[in-house]
């Protein structure tokens, strides 16, 4: 694995969402797929895998890879180079134990320790709402993607009333590192404002998947 900013993740100040996420997912790492969280994300991953296109030789990164099952499923689609990062050290330990042919490392989604223009595809599934500053993730995703590389974001897509209850009542009580959920409009805006051209949008059963291509810098 090539890195440009070695150990930066450990040097930066960890915010409250990261602290909560690390605590929760370290605790549930060995049984994550059987938790309420794990069962919900499994449904989103199943939808995502239907809409991802990878080719032989591609480098693909799963940000917030959790138990590693999504990047493992993607890895079965082509003869590719698969990578996964997660903020939970215990999750990464479990991933390495289960999937020896995938490269895993501990990292957060706002300072990603890979070279510029390294990946063909970056995937983030049900993780973006955990980040303190999602804008930083989009900047990092654009940096590490090759020109015209694909970014695939999957998130819940609840009606306004349910979103408000989740944001201000449910998520604070859970203390699981969740920040605010995204409306479809806001998520789309994050793509456009960070130099991604939208290529596909899927909305189904209160789930949303948005796919965009990294616009190359002007010559």
pLDDT for position 5:
46
DSSP, residue by residue, 185-219: HHHHHHHHHTTEEEEEEEEETTEEEEEEEEPPPP-
Q: Which tokens is 99 given?
A: 């999937």
pLDDT at 2: 45
Distance CA 201, CA 157 (A): 12
Confidence (pLDDT) at 44: 94
Residue segments in the chain with a per-residue pLDDT below the cut of 70: 1-12, 17, 160-179
What pLDDT digit, counting tens, does each position of 146-190 carry?
999 999 999 998 876 666 655 555 565 455 555 677 889 999 999
> How many Å apart are CA 18 and CA 102, to the nearest integer?
24
CA distance 210 to 151: 8
Provide the pLDDT for residue 45.
Answer: 95
User: Count of H helices and E strands in the chain?
Assistant: 9, 7
Q: What is the pLDDT of residue 6?
A: 43
The CATH code of the domain at 8-214 is: 3.40.50.150
Task: Give the start-to-end residue ranges of the domains of the chain.
Answer: 8-214
């Amino acid at each position: 694995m090539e890195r440009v900013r070695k150990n930066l993740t450990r040097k930066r100040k960890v915010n409250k969402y990261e602290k909560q996420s690390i605590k929760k997912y370290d605790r549930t790492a060995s049984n994550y797929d059987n938790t309420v969280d794990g069962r919900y994300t499994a449904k989103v991953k199943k939808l995502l895998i239907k809409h991802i296109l990878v080719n032989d030789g591609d480098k693909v990164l799963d940000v917030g890879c959790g138990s590693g099952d999504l990047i493992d499923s993607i890895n079965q689609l082509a003869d590719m180079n698969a990578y996964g990062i997660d903020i939970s050290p215990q999750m990464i330990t479990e991933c390495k134990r289960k999937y020896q042919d995938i490269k895993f490392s501990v990292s957060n989604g706002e300072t990603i320790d890979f070279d510029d223009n390294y990946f063909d595809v970056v995937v983030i599934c049900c993780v973006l709402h955990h980040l303190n500053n999602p804008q930083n993730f989009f900047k990092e995703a654009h940096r590490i993607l090759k020109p015209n590389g694909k970014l695939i974001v999957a998130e819940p897509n609840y009606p306004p009333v349910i979103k408000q209850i989740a944001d201000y009542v449910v998520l604070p009580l859970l203390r699981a590192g969740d920040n605010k959920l995204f409306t479809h409009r806001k998520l789309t805006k994050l793509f456009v404002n960070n130099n991604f051209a939208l290529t596909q949008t899927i909305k189904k059963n209160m789930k949303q998947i948005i796919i965009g291509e990294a616009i190359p810098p002007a010559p």
